[in-house]
Amino acid sequence: MTGQNSKETMATPPPIQMLELISGFWISRCVYIAAKLGIADLVTDGAKTAEELAA
């Protein structure tokens, strides 16, 4: 960031900005955990239920 606020940032209330930061963290954490657990490798043949993934 350059220290200059864009019009979009100025129009977004601080609580919404905080929520966006937090939800961004949650999403990145979910992607990390999915990679750590190898979920993509488990579903290469198609969708599976939670029970099938846990087996």
Q: What is the pLDDT of residues 2-47, one digit of tens each?
A: 556 666 557 899 999 999 999 999 999 999 999 999 999 999 999 9
Examine residue 8 and state whether it is found in any structural domain, yes or no. no
pLDDT at 40: 93
> Could you identify the residue written with the tokens 């657990």?
37
Examine residue 24 and state whether it is found in any structural domain, yes or no. yes
Tallying the residues shown for the chain, one arrives at 55
Examine residue 5 and state whether it is found in any structural domain, yes or no. no
Examine residue 7 and state whether it is found in any structural domain, yes or no. no
The residue segments making up the domain with residue 39 are 14-54
Domain count within the chain: 1
pLDDT at 55: 85
Examine residue 45 and state whether it is found in any structural domain, yes or no. yes
Spatial separation of the C-alpha atoms in residues 21 and 44, rounded to whole Å = 31
38's tokens: 């190898």
